[in-house]
Amino acid sequence: SAAEKDGFDYFMLKEIVEQPRAIADTLLGRLSVEGDLTLDEMRLSPAELRSVEKIVIIACGTSYHAGLIAKYAIEHWCRIPCEVEVASEFRYRDPILDRQTLVIAISQSGESMDTLMAVRYAREQRAKVLAICNVNGSTIPRESDGVLYTHAGPEVGVAATKTFITQLIACYLIGLYLAQVRGLKFGDEIDAVIAQLATMPEQVEKVLNTIEPVRELARSLSGADTVLFLGRHVGYPVAMEGALKLKELAYMHAEAFAAGELKHGPIALIEEGLPVVVVVPSPQGRSVLHDKIVSNIQEVRARGARTIVIAEEGDESVRPYSDVIIEIPAVPTLLQPIVATVPMQVFACELALAKGNDVDQPRNLAKSVTVE
């Protein structure tokens, strides 16, 4: 009913707007103002977490994209090798697992059959399984050794929005906590990340307050056949998520590439007027990466692409090569997916609405896929 939708026409629109609250609720009680992390609720003891030698993340769809982003953060902060795999592939390839392996199963619903089967398989192989889940008491957390719940609240729209953003929060918390229990030196970078994590509700609010131009842009592109998405580092899985949202909601061909791979083939796809969405890392810190992607933007634009650039506010270097700039707040690179994903969600949702699609119930899709 309209009341349940809080005056929004679709649950998805409401759920996008709820993201700052969902992030705050997921951080609550776990990250103190002093920057201390408390995750005892996970049911995995610090001793168990100290013995972990390898991490394997398994998930499907959007949850898999959260896992891809988690890999960058966990390997960088904890120096533990971390693999990420789609759950449907996992148990069919004889993966290497043992007691020192921590499997992190990410599932919004806790009911995806592919992920559940992968969890069962991992436990049979004696790996420890930690679930990240949004639904209390669902099957995957019940069958795992430990769980960290996201507190996004119920998500009705089939397309994951606030559950994805809170999965990212959960992944960052786990990465930082692992570093903490393993006694890794909390240098300035980690302190800065913790401080910034606490500000994420406000940062996402900022993005939502300046989103109107993204809506207009989406409407202007409703006749396009294809949209390409480019990113590097954590911006690559963000690009993958942007492409998935467009497929699911707008039924459009959309594909994401690691920007550095362009020259190895995909650049042949670029033609006059083709919309290309590019996620640009912060110019601060990892500036090499930033400069590389600016040249990737130049390359596609020189071949006729219409460049839609998601960049940090005040990043002047992208201006000469961008047809449209979508500004996002300055945050540390590893946290950028939280703010960079939001315009992608709005873009796909608005484009789908412009095509007359039902964004809450896209064709052929179910909210949770309980068959293998």
The residues that touch ligand AGP, with contacts defined as CB under 6 A, are: 60-63, 107-109, 112, 115, 158-160, 248, 368-369
Phi, psi of 185 (to 5 degrees): -60, 120
DSSP calls for 78-143: H---EEEEEHHHHTTS-----TTEEEEEEESSS--HHHHHHHHHHHHTT-EEEEEESSTT-HHHHT
What residue type is assigned to position 90 of the chain? F
Residue of 54, 247, 355, 367 with catalytic role? 367
Taking a C-beta distance cutoff of 8 angstroms, is the pair 243, 251 a contact?
no
Taking the complex as a whole, how short is the minimal distance between the CB of residue 19 and ligand AGP, in angstroms? Answer: 14
In the complex with ligand AGP, which residue's Cβ is closer, 134 or 203? Answer: 134
In the complex with ligand AGP, which residue's Cβ is closer, 179 or 352? Answer: 352
Taking the complex as a whole, how short is the minimal distance between the CB of residue 186 and ligand AGP, in angstroms? Answer: 31
In the complex with ligand AGP, which residue's Cβ is closer, 95 or 157? Answer: 157
What residue type is assigned to position 315 of the chain? D
Closest CB to ligand AGP belongs to which residue? 61
- Tokens in use for 172? 């960052």
Taking the complex as a whole, how short is the minimal distance between the CB of residue 203 and ligand AGP, in angstroms? Answer: 22
In the complex with ligand AGP, which residue's Cβ is closer, 61 or 95? Answer: 61
Taking the complex as a whole, how short is the minimal distance between the CB of residue 348 and ligand AGP, in angstroms? Answer: 10
Strand order in the sheet with 128-133: 82-86, 54-59, 101-107, 128-133, 146-149
Residue indicated by tokens 């993204």: 214
Taking a C-beta distance cutoff of 8 angstroms, is the pair 252, 348 a contact?
no
Catalytic residue status for 367: yes
- Catalogue the active-site residues: 367
